[in-house]
Structure 1
Amino acid sequence: MTIRSLLAPLLGLGLLLGTRAATAATPTGFTATYNVLQDDEPIGVATVTLRSGGNGEWVYRKDMKGTGGLAAMLGADVTETSRFRWKGNVPEAISYDYRLVASIKNKQRHMKVDWATDQVTVDEGKGPQTYPASPGMVERNTTPLALGLALRDGRQQVALPVAVRQNVQTQNFRITGHGPVKVPAGSFNAVRVERTDADRGFSAWYVPGRYPLPVKLSQHDGGDTVMELVSYHSS
């Protein structure tokens, strides 16, 4: 097992959100905690929060801390912070900051959108790169939020414009089934969603109307990584 595979869940796993279509309002704030497992072994804890940032902006933040295995030995922690504005039910990107801190590696990425000029600027410490923005564009940290709100509103398939490192990429998702799932937060009859435009081994399970976050997320890119809901509190 490689260091890369053990760090994979701390390098930016997305979290998917979903609520019942009858509740059309956008979320007003929450805190959720997840256990993170790699190959069925606990390696970390993730905390996801949403809060108002004032002046019509919102802050969506994910903190992942290595607590077991090599991730703990390396002191690997990741923070991802997004600022956005609501455009209907879409969290339209304003900025995104990523920070990885570990004993063997530090990494940062800053993205900012200038909607006056419709330009995205991305800087990873080697000089800024720019490319055109797209209306209703999200980024990798808020992609799950945009997806979950679309699913809440009854969409079976969702295509999202996502700002990545060098351009805006269309990512496609669809509902693939329903079934029981058990996590520390409880046992649920959940909806399963998968990404369909890339072979990334990505699946997420939602309980519409119960939580605005998935109860379970699984990703097999760089190792079998699973995130399971432990607790959720609205604010």
Structure 2
Amino acid sequence: MTQSNTLRTFAAGLALAFSAPAAFAATTPAAFTATYQVSQGGQAIGEAVVTLKPAGDGQWEYSNQTKGTSGLAAALGANSNETTRFRWNNNAPETVSYDYRMDAAIKSKQRHTNVNWTTNQVTVDEGKGPMNYASVPGLVDRNTAPYAIGLALRAGKQSVSLPVAVKRNVETQTFKVAGKDTVKVPAGSFQAERVERSDDTKAFSAWYAPQKYPVPVKLAQSDGGNLTLELVSYKNGN
């Protein structure tokens, strides 16, 4: 595992590559804090804390802060912060803005995404000049994806085709429930639904207990570094 691969996979945190369209969710937002252990190759390297809270003006803030606590991630000072503001539209989140920043001793990276729902335009800027493309209804960025897919599963969906805001365009991604497994994580043992991406060859699995939590209890991504996230604790409210 190279230093660049370690940084890339660690900084990914909970940025799952899927989201849910407006028709899937049937609930309203509820604030929470979820804490995860981040491991690589079976060794704990960090912690991720995901929070959802009201942001005023009918919007919500969904943040994911990932910090290296041991191993190479700690030695390199690898930390990432992702913050999304979304509006609640047709019983589902729609991204208004998304900010990503990764800092480490040898490199840093940032991205700002803004969605203008009046003009239906997405603007993405990584510090080298903005890129623009058209938005679509139900658009969700990668940061809010864990929450959005959890709501879809809670509503009984078994497969979804999803509009995801990426760097240069809206990318349609497809996911399905591939089975049910017993999953043991620091937060406990769960009968979980295993979600896999079906339109891409990347090795990716996420386990949900959707009637209990709207975010995954476990995420495993072997592409790029065997990164695993396991739920440690979940708390309702701010």
Instruction: State TM-score, norm by structure 1.
Output: 0.94
Mapped contact 1:89–1:149 kept (Cα < 8 A): no
Alignment of 1:165-180 (within 5 A): 165-180=167-182
Aligned to 1:94: 96
Aligned to 1:185: 187
Mapped contact 2:59–2:86 kept (Cα < 8 A): yes
Q: For the residues of structure 2 that align with 1:158 and 1:171, how far apart are their CA atoms?
A: 8
Matched, 1:49 2:57: no
Equivalent residue in structure 2 for 1:200, among 199, 202, 206:
202
Aligned to 2:3: 3
User: Residues 143 and 17 of structure 1: is their aligned pair in 2 closer, same or farther, counting only changes over 3 Å?
Assistant: closer
User: Cα offset for 1:88?
Assistant: 2.3
Aligned to 2:122: 120
Q: For the residues of structure 2 that align with 1:174 and 1:95, how far apart are their CA atoms?
A: 27
- Between stretches 24-33 and 93-102, larger displacement belongs to 24-33
User: Cα offset for 1:5?
Assistant: 2.4
Unaligned 5+ runs, structure 2? none
| 1:43-76 deviations in Å (ceiling 9; x for gaps) | 0000000000000110000000001111100100
Mapped contact 1:17–1:149 kept (Cα < 8 A): no
Which letter maps to 1:56?
A: G
- Between stretches 7-16 and 163-172, larger displacement belongs to 7-16
Q: For the residues of structure 1 that align with 2:50 and 2:166, how far apart are their CA atoms?
A: 21
Mapped contact 1:4–1:222 kept (Cα < 8 A): no
Equivalent residue in structure 2 for 1:147, among 135, 149, 172:
149
Instruction: State TM-score, norm by structure 2.
Output: 0.93
Moved over 6 A (4+): none
Q: For the residues of structure 1 that align with 2:19 and 2:131, how far apart are their CA atoms?
A: 30
| Residue aligned with 1:210, SS | coil
Aligned to 2:113: 111
User: Cα offset for 1:17?
Assistant: 9.9
| 1:12-35 deviations in Å (ceiling 9; x for gaps) | 5325899xxxx9422310000000
User: Cα offset for 1:201?
Assistant: 0.8
Aligned to 2:71: 69
Aligned to 1:209: 211
Mapped contact 1:157–1:174 kept (Cα < 8 A): yes
Q: For the residues of structure 2 that align with 1:185 and 1:154, how far apart are their CA atoms?
A: 24
User: Cα offset for 1:188?
Assistant: 1.3
Mapped contact 1:157–1:175 kept (Cα < 8 A): yes
Q: For the residues of structure 1 that align with 2:37 and 2:19, how far apart are their CA atoms?
A: 17
Which letter maps to 1:9?
A: F
| 1:132-163 deviations in Å (ceiling 9; x for gaps) | 11111111111222211111111110111011
Mapped contact 1:173–1:193 kept (Cα < 8 A): yes
User: Residues 156 and 87 of structure 1: is their aligned pair in 2 closer, same or farther, counting only changes over 3 Å?
Assistant: same
Q: For the residues of structure 2 that align with 1:68 and 1:50, how far apart are their CA atoms?
A: 26
User: How well do the aligned residues superpose, as a CA RMSD in angstroms?
Assistant: 1.7
Matched, 1:164 2:166: yes
Which letter maps to 2:120?
A: D
Unaligned 5+ runs, structure 1? none
User: Residues 5 and 103 of structure 1: is their aligned pair in 2 closer, same or farther, counting only changes over 3 Å?
Assistant: same
Aligned to 2:37: 35
| 1:109-143 deviations in Å (ceiling 9; x for gaps) | 00001111111100000011111111111111112
Aligned to 1:25: 27
